[in-house]
Structure 1
Amino acid sequence: MQIYKVGGAVRDRLLGRAVEETDWVVVGATAEQLLAQGFRPVGADFPVFLHPGTGEEYALARTERKSGRGYGGFTFYASPDVSLEEDLIRRDLTVNAMAEDDQGRLIDPYGGQRDLAARILRHVSPAFAEDPLRVLRVARFAARYAPDGFSVAAETLELMRQLSESGELAALTPERSWKEISRALLEPRPDVFVQVLRDCGALQALLPEVDALFGVPQPAAYHPEIDTGVHVLGVLRQCAEHRQPLTVRWACLLHDVGKGLTPQAQWPRHIAHEQRGMPAIQAINQRSKAPKDCQELALLVGEFHSHGHRALELKATTLLELLQRFDVYRRPQRFEEFIAACEMDARGRSGLEHRDYPQAGYLRGAMQAVRAVAVQPLLERGFKGPELGEALKKERLQALKTYKAHNAP
């Protein structure tokens, strides 16, 4: 039995990056031998086990063969006679197909170290094209390592294009796709993830509503970058630079999908694109099975981001309706995330990345003003039931009017 450290732990050590998790491959052993040593099996489909002490994953060396559609359409062969090289060749990228023995010696049969030095993400073998999930994985790695100068090899991008055109992406489950998309959006360059998907045709297959934004013009006075798709990429980059959470990044990805539905005769204006985009955002949410908090914020940002930009101009009644819609009394954090999404939208414009966004402080102050209105004095005055609700609304409206008088330009 021989045990090797493999994959990301080897790659990131060679890059000088922190190693977050370590995976191992066991050559020359059987499942029974590992079980006898106290290893615990993970699931029934893969010969993967958890170490009894560290909890790290140990997999028996295996080969695989395509047997059906999608990510799960493979049969595996795990046996003591499977070599390390046979196990490594089934992996996605050369930089992920390296191993280290117990002496720290590098085993690199497919040129991973060479591609690390060249900053290239390259497939290991033609079998890459058998697994549609690899399209998303490679785009995610591109988003992670773009700050280090990495790009996808042209021949790998071509295989990704073939996968996208084959219809295989449709065989991915929403849950598996979402896991990759959500992880990619949290990488240092989520805009690169979207761009790589677009370059290989996968964005059109997975998120056609976002893909449709590229080539759609906007007024240059507000959007110097003009192209709506380019704007969305800029917004995602701002999200990463400002370390926004997944909810904000998902909302920013979808906030302008209504502009892709504007009749061309109306370009570059996009009147009522917020309302036009709501069914599309709803459809994407349901199709992707995004978590509830991501879905809710995406819908709210899609509908109200223009309100955010015009915050200082809004009437007190409109401002109150906005705050009520977000339920700032019970869920102030969701409104904070809305403000963040609006600010990222404002900064995601060519040459305006460092602009001030006074709307953010103004909206926070408005929220504080209505949240400061106390219920107890109204109860003491005898209000109850529907009358209490109306009285509370009037008090909050008055608080906003006072706030506006002291803070609006």
Structure 2
Amino acid sequence: MKRVLLNVSIMAVLLLGLGPVTARAAETDFSTWLAALRDEAQAAGIRDDVFDRVLAGSRPIEKIVELDRRQPEFVDTFWSYLGARVTPARVEQGRTQLQRYRDLLQAVERTYRVPPAVLVSFWGLETDFGGNTGQFRAADALATLAYDGRRGPFFREQLLALLQLVQAGDVAPDARASWAGALGQMQFMPTTYRAYAVDFDGDGRRDLWHSMPDVFASAANYLASIGWEGTRGWGEEVRLPGDFDYYLAGPDVEMPIESWRDLGVTRASGAPLEGTSGRASIILPGGVEAGPALLVSSNFRVIMAWNRAFTYAVTVGHLADRIAGRGPFVTPQRGDVVGLSRADVLEMQTLLGRLGFDTGGADGVVGSRTRDAIRDFQRTAYLPADGFPTSRLLDRLRLAAAE
């Protein structure tokens, strides 16, 4: 990987937020930062020879800062996100890999109680079944982001964890990673690697690049440790009654499945919700207009602990179902499938705030507070309160703000 020394303006504006500096001064500033990091590493028990092997010659990489700053111009709709990732080719490859590693995956399941198809689904989505584990040196990626002020403390912790992993012999000094420093075939951040990776093949090293026993067992150990319930699925598609109160939809509303049945919720086929128990939530990943409706268990929240993106969690579960032999969603794609730009979301948040609905600030990102604000506005406007942002909702907000 070719390392790029940041030019004067990029270093000043993106990294330090200072006035004009010379390239030599910028390099000196990074060297000073690195020297302070060495002191911290020594205090954490990291040897100087390990520090030097990993970080000697390291420099901030402009491309990584750009990737960290970059915001997509358009927000993927649920169906476009799902369709780009749960493709016939990926489902077929997932089924092939499921058979290829059947014995190993069953051994992992016996130990950690995580279904094989779920592990293969994560593997497929994270690195395309190991085909793309990253193009940057992990040390350079993490040093760049740790030196950068935006999320410096988080990535400083990750960089120190990487040094510990190298010292322990788990990770090579020149290991490749994603631009954010995620490692191996399951893309673990270094602190996750340090805490949850396991040596399942017994060779004395936790290798998430080349040892498939370690790859699958580490992912299963992580999921089990954060709450995966082996006897439960992640969720299923359901049909909602015509008088359903959409204010009840969302991961924060959890009720016994019997209660959902009493409200008229059925399986997608129309069959009653029988033979299932426990608590669950109704979610609408595409909103009321675009469907589908899903009844999700606590395991869905475990998937979201891996990655907080709502659509990612649904995609993991659905891809796992498809790999296991189940069919696509019954609900066809329909309704508003126009993606909103970041500027659209900013305008939506601004208008909601102007109308008295608290989004937690306008940042162009649809988080839980923005969804709650949308839901509250929808209820006052006598709209289905699904909390879902659409272009039609933005038009409605514009009209309401102009009144």
Task: Kindly indicate whether structure 1 or structure 2 has the higher relative contact order, using CA contacts under 8 Å at least 6 residues apart.
Answer: 2
Question: What TM-score comes out, normalization by structure 2 length?
Answer: 0.26
Question: Structure 1-normalised TM-score?
Answer: 0.26
Q: Which of the two has greater helix per residue?
A: 1
